[in-house]
Structure 1
């Protein structure tokens, strides 16, 4: 478990559409899928997450410690309990309106694993920090 994280936390709705990255699985903990790597732009690690009927896609993402991370999350289905993103370790509980991209930003300071889930904790994923 990760005990310390530094950096600003920001959650803002965006107007632009977010493309989905290819991956599937309801829970990164229950399925051992390879982690997706973010795209880095201007020193920020960009991760597109999509909520579908399958859950968070991708459900496992790898990022580097010490560099800002920007999650861009778009819920594409009404048939899900993942109507918000919860990252307990960061104190984040961000609503995910249908078809509206939302950003969550943070800067991990050390390696470890950060878990994210729906509010009911039925659908989840993880950010592996190296």
Structure 2
């Protein structure tokens, strides 16, 4: 089965900030932090059950469950910057 793969650049914000995934197809989000900005060194999501450190200029991949449709938020360590995963 194929895997949905999305690259997210982290440089003062998440780009793209909204990611759309297909329900029931395994998915991976790869975050790459390219600017040294405080709280963006962590990304986490209670909704999607992940938290990971984002070292500067190192890609980090998290697996995302696509079992349920809906909109799920992720954010930086201080919840100042956020993005959204939409599962359809």
Q: Which TM class, normalised by the smaller chain length?
A: over 0.9
Q: Which residue of 1 aligns with 2:46?
A: 88
1:61 and 1:88, CA in 2 relative to 1: closer, same or farther beyond 3 A? Answer: same
Tell me if 1:49 matches 2:49: no
1:52 and 1:80 in contact (8 A); partners too: no
Alpha-carbon distance, 1:114 to partner: 1.1
Return the TM-score normalized by structure 2: 0.93
Tell me if 1:97 matches 2:43: no
Aligned mates of 1:90, 1:101 — CA distance in 2: 19
Aligned length: 88
Alpha-carbon distance, 1:96 to partner: 0.4
**4+ residue stretches of structure 1 with deviation over 4 A?**
none
Bigger share in strand: 2
Q: How does 1:16-35 map to 2 (within 5 A)?
A: none
Q: Which residue of 2 aligns with 1:63?
A: 21
Tell me if 1:110 matches 2:68: yes
2:41 and 2:55 in contact (8 A); partners too: yes
Q: Which residue of 1 aligns with 2:79?
A: 121
Alpha-carbon distance, 1:52 to partner: 0.6
Q: Which residue of 2 aligns with 1:30?
A: none
1:84 and 1:95 in contact (8 A); partners too: yes
Q: Which runs of 5+ in 1 are unaligned?
A: 1-41
